[in-house]
Structure 1
Amino acid sequence: MIVAVLIAVEVISAFETSMMYAALPTFARVFEADASTVGWTVTAFLLVAAASAAVCGRLGDMYGRERVLIIVLICAAIGSIISVAFGTLAGIIVGRAIQGVAGAILPLCIGLAREHLPAKKVPMAIALISGSAVAAGAASLLVAGLLIDLGDWRYIFVVTAAYAVACIVLIEAVLPWRRRNAAEHRQVDFVGAAGLAVSVSAILLALTQGKNWGWSDTRVLGLLLVGVVIFAWWVWWELGRTSPIVNLRLLAERNIALTMLATIALGVGPVGVTTMLVPIIMQTPTSAPFGLGLSATYAGMLSFVGAMIGMLFTPLAGKIAAAVGARASLLLGATLFLVACAGFFVFRGSVAGMTALVVVVSVATAFAYTALPNLLVEFVPEHNTSEVTGSQSVVRTAAMAVGTSLTTVVLASFVVPGTSTPTVAALGMVCAMLVLACAGAIVLALGVKYRKR
């Protein structure tokens, strides 16, 4: 029952992260806004989610993950209510920013699984929770699209608000609350929390808006400079604290550092880019240098089916992690990613080939995405679980922003003369970048020394 509740709670985080992609065209039409403006409904959520994952993860470790998780879900519900109540694009952006606190749900759920379950069941539980996030992200596009088509865009926020309230009831009814000793209640490093939130938000905003504003724009360069300077100060500050918001000394441990670097490699590579590249290949007209000319509905359905097939492999990923360590799952996932990324270029003109590759990517995601938090759990003390997995979420989000930005730049730089259509050479460069990222992740995973806790 504990695992089922944690999976149900994580679904809302994944749904809120992805549902806006289905609503962006509707918002642009209803509010008569351009793509960059409606894009803030996604950007605002991601900026808050990245900071929330690290800060709330640490607060959960200190004061009780159930308590913090309920507060996070209350914020998610309030954000949905604000989006519906105001009914304006500005109101939706504000509501989405408040919803972004839900970015802390995954690290909190992983910490709760480790806190309440026997050690031998933790790898499987983490695999199922992480795998449900991937499946729910794919399903959210389909569900949100149906809600918009059958009713109104407000329905997606009504559903998320009701679901958040239902999750609060489940947590209160099912999860066993642990009493915290007074000795465990240490002073919160509010200065460190604020510094981390500001630096991460500034850097992510620059990365996500770079392709819209231009990489040489003073706003992008200024945000990057401010973010890096504040981050450097934050590192110095945290190293001097007895109770830091993020224990940086833990991140310096060999296996944890290699896991974080592998997270970056996969984030810049297949985890961040394939969700954007696959629809481009599938939906680009056949008259272009590459493309299958599929409809958005058909392409979306193929991606959804692939994600569901991948979800079926998450128990196997958990069993492998429990039996021989999560490194084996990571190696298998990264290898499958490498094969799929090379195949995108080879099978760019085959519907059957691309469909098979979508399945391979989904299976690879099931192994790699679930192995990364399990690797941390193998080497991190229990009381630091949500803190470190939250930091991993921040790192993955930043890496994915870098990967999508690089891909966009490459596809926009090599186009058919007189058009904005990418060439085969552009696709080849993107695929090569993804293959190199996968190879880097494999090398990093091989460097992890297995130690079963």
Structure 2
Amino acid sequence: MIIGVLMLVEIISAFETSMVYAAIPTFIQEFDSDAATVGWAVTAFLLVAAASAAVCGRLGDMYGRERVLVVLLGAAALGSFISAIGDGIGSIIVGRAIQGVAGAILPLCIGLAREHLPAAKVPVAVAVISGSAVAAGSASLLVAGVMLDHASWHMIFIVAAVYALLALLLVLFVLPWRPPAGTTQRIDYVGTVAFAPAIAAVLLGINKSGTWGWTDARTLGLIVGGLVVLALWVLWELRVTDPIVNVRMFTDRKVALTMLATVSIAVGPLGVTTMIIPLILQTPTTAPFGLGISPTNAGWLSFIGSMFGFVCTPLSGRISRAVGSRASMLLGTALFTISSAMLIVFHDSVVGMMAMIITVSVGTAFAFTALPNLIVEAVPESHTSEATGTNSVVRTGGQGIGTSIATMLLASSAVGGVSSVTGLNTVATMMVVMGLVTFGFTLLIRPGRVSV
């Protein structure tokens, strides 16, 4: 029952993350915009998700994970409602930023699983809960496609709001609650507030470099200023008694290498594929690339492909339990790298893209579920949500960087406002390179199993 509830709750996080990808082509046409601008509906969500994972993972360890989940689900519903009633890309971005609090749901669910379940069942439980995001992410593309074809983009957010409220009721009335243990720790408000703007400034500078130029004072000011704030943030986190992100955990070899692998795979294939696949499937055939598939049919292709990945998630957990999560991560990274190369070859073929979607879905099943298990192997139970929350910070921040760079590359190579094959191949090459980097980092991780 506990695993089932946590899977259903995690689905809203995956749904909130992925649903807008299917609507990107629609938003570009509806608001007469470009990929770089509309991409902020994704980037804003990911930036807030990163900060939320850092803050709420710690708050869950301190004050009770169930209580924090209730607040997050209520905020996610509110953000979806704001996007639903909006009439422009600006209001959608604001709503998406509020929805970003859902980024903390997965680390809280992993913490609850480890809190309630015997140690022997934790690897499979973590894999299944994390793996529900694989199916839910593609299901959200299908739901969004149906809404876009038969209703309107507003309905995407209404569906998300309703589901968030249903998940909130599950946490309130079905999930077992435990009394808070109490804590003397303080909340690191400075660290909380400084993180997201620092990353946002760097991303905005990268995003605008195609328009302003790399040597423009505005571009350099945003990028350099953001990096300076980020460096000061790290120094602050090292000095404060109760940091919102315990950067000292990066001194542990296994944690540090897992975080580096997380960054590289998030900037590359994990962060970009969900955005690029709907764009290729739904872009009209009159464009330099695009298969001209309707949002509904594109959603079906993604959903069917994701089922291959979802059925592999228990296998990933069993591998983690038997020989450690490094093996699952290596397999997932290899499949991610192969799928990225397939994007270059098969972007003009429906059959080829279907094969690519299946490959990337299975890769996601292994890599996405291996990352939290690698963290669980390295930290004690009492710090599970904090550590997996930090990993989510790194992952979602990396995804934000990856999608921002990818949309910038597509926009900068566009001809007459339409993205070119050259831009697409550049993005795919970036994904391949980051996949190979991730594979290298993972090889350096020492094998191990979940600590009791």
- Post-superposition Cα deviations, 1:324-355, rounded to whole Å, max 9, x if no partner, equal 11101001111222332333334455543332
Equivalent in the alignment of 2:122: 122
Instruction: Evaluate the alpha carbon distance shift between residue 167 and residue 250 of structure 1 in structure 2; reply closer, same or farther with a 3 A threshold.
Output: same
Instruction: Evaluate the alpha carbon distance shift between residue 197 and residue 405 of structure 1 in structure 2; reply closer, same or farther with a 3 A threshold.
Output: closer
Instruction: Evaluate the alpha carbon distance shift between residue 209 and residue 393 of structure 1 in structure 2; reply closer, same or farther with a 3 A threshold.
Output: farther
- Post-superposition Cα deviations, 1:378-402, rounded to whole Å, max 9, x if no partner, equal 1012222222222222222232333
Instruction: Evaluate the alpha carbon distance shift between residue 365 and residue 101 of structure 1 in structure 2; reply closer, same or farther with a 3 A threshold.
Output: same
- Post-superposition Cα deviations, 1:287-337, rounded to whole Å, max 9, x if no partner, equal 887x57352444443222111221111111111111111101001111222
- Post-superposition Cα deviations, 1:359-382, rounded to whole Å, max 9, x if no partner, equal 111101110111011100110122
Contact 2:290–2:348 (Cα < 8 Å) also in 1: yes
Q: Does 1:307 align with 2:313?
A: no
Contact 1:14–1:136 (Cα < 8 Å) also in 2: yes
Equivalent in the alignment of 1:448: 445
Instruction: Evaluate the alpha carbon distance shift between residue 446 and residue 46 of structure 1 in structure 2; reply closer, same or farther with a 3 A threshold.
Output: closer
Letter of the structure 1 residue corresponding to residue 393 of structure 2:
V
Residues 384-393 or 3-12, more deviating: 384-393
Q: Does 1:18 align with 2:18?
A: yes
Residues 117-126 or 364-373, more deviating: 117-126
- Post-superposition Cα deviations, 1:36-95, rounded to whole Å, max 9, x if no partner, equal 665554443233222111111111111111111111111112223344556666544433
- Post-superposition Cα deviations, 1:412-434, rounded to whole Å, max 9, x if no partner, equal 66689x9966356x665544433
Letter of the structure 2 residue corresponding to residue 384 of structure 1:
H
Letter of the structure 2 residue corresponding to residue 62 of structure 1:
M
Residue number among 430, 434, 444 corresponding to 1:437 in the alignment = 434
**Consecutive unaligned residues in structure 2, runs of 5 or more:** none
Instruction: Evaluate the alpha carbon distance shift between residue 206 and residue 124 of structure 1 in structure 2; reply closer, same or farther with a 3 A threshold.
Output: farther
- Map of 1:57-136 to 2, 5 A cutoff? 57-84=57-84, 90-136=90-136
Instruction: Evaluate the alpha carbon distance shift between residue 216 and residue 67 of structure 1 in structure 2; reply closer, same or farther with a 3 A threshold.
Output: farther
Separation in 2, partners of 1:19, 1:135? 12
Structure 1-normalised TM-score? 0.87
- How far off its partner does 1:143 sit? 0.7
- How far off its partner does 1:185 sit? 3.5
- How far off its partner does 1:110 sit? 1.4
Separation in 2, partners of 1:4, 1:442? 32
Instruction: Evaluate the alpha carbon distance shift between residue 401 and residue 171 of structure 1 in structure 2; reply closer, same or farther with a 3 A threshold.
Output: closer
Letter of the structure 1 residue corresponding to residue 343 of structure 2:
F
Equivalent in the alignment of 2:53: 53
Instruction: Evaluate the alpha carbon distance shift between residue 315 and residue 189 of structure 1 in structure 2; reply closer, same or farther with a 3 A threshold.
Output: same
- How far off its partner does 1:138 sit? 1.5
Instruction: Evaluate the alpha carbon distance shift between residue 350 and residue 140 of structure 1 in structure 2; reply closer, same or farther with a 3 A threshold.
Output: closer
Equivalent in the alignment of 2:241: 242
Letter of the structure 1 residue corresponding to residue 439 of structure 2:
I
Equivalent in the alignment of 1:159: 159
If asked which structure has higher relative contact order (CA below 8 Å, sep 6+), I would say: 2
Between the two proteins, the alignment pairs up a number of residues equal to: 448
Q: Does 1:356 align with 2:355?
A: yes
- How far off its partner does 1:243 sit? 1.6
- How far off its partner does 1:285 sit? 7.0
Separation in 1, partners of 2:75, 2:284? 42
Separation in 2, partners of 1:294, 1:247? 47
Three-state SS of the structure 2 residue aligned to 1:186 is coil
Contact 1:284–1:293 (Cα < 8 Å) also in 2: yes
Equivalent in the alignment of 1:372: 371
- How far off its partner does 1:190 sit? 1.7
**Consecutive unaligned residues in structure 1, runs of 5 or more:** none
- Map of 1:390-409 to 2, 5 A cutoff? 390-408=389-407
Separation in 2, partners of 1:414, 1:243? 45
Equivalent in the alignment of 1:145: 145
Separation in 2, partners of 1:249, 1:19? 35
Instruction: Evaluate the alpha carbon distance shift between residue 43 and residue 448 of structure 1 in structure 2; reply closer, same or farther with a 3 A threshold.
Output: closer
Separation in 2, partners of 1:152, 1:427? 28
Separation in 2, partners of 1:26, 1:354? 21
- How far off its partner does 1:198 sit? 3.1
Instruction: Evaluate the alpha carbon distance shift between residue 435 and residue 83 of structure 1 in structure 2; reply closer, same or farther with a 3 A threshold.
Output: closer
Three-state SS of the structure 2 residue aligned to 1:122 is helix
Letter of the structure 2 residue corresponding to residue 400 of structure 1:
Q
Contact 1:47–1:204 (Cα < 8 Å) also in 2: no
Equivalent in the alignment of 2:331: 332
Equivalent in the alignment of 2:388: 389
- How far off its partner does 1:246 sit? 1.3
Instruction: Evaluate the alpha carbon distance shift between residue 214 and residue 106 of structure 1 in structure 2; reply closer, same or farther with a 3 A threshold.
Output: farther
- How far off its partner does 1:12 sit? 1.0
- How far off its partner does 1:14 sit? 1.5
Separation in 2, partners of 1:37, 1:411? 12
Instruction: Evaluate the alpha carbon distance shift between residue 209 and residue 296 of structure 1 in structure 2; reply closer, same or farther with a 3 A threshold.
Output: farther
Residues 12-21 or 217-226, more deviating: 217-226
Equivalent in the alignment of 1:342: 341
Equivalent in the alignment of 1:323: 322
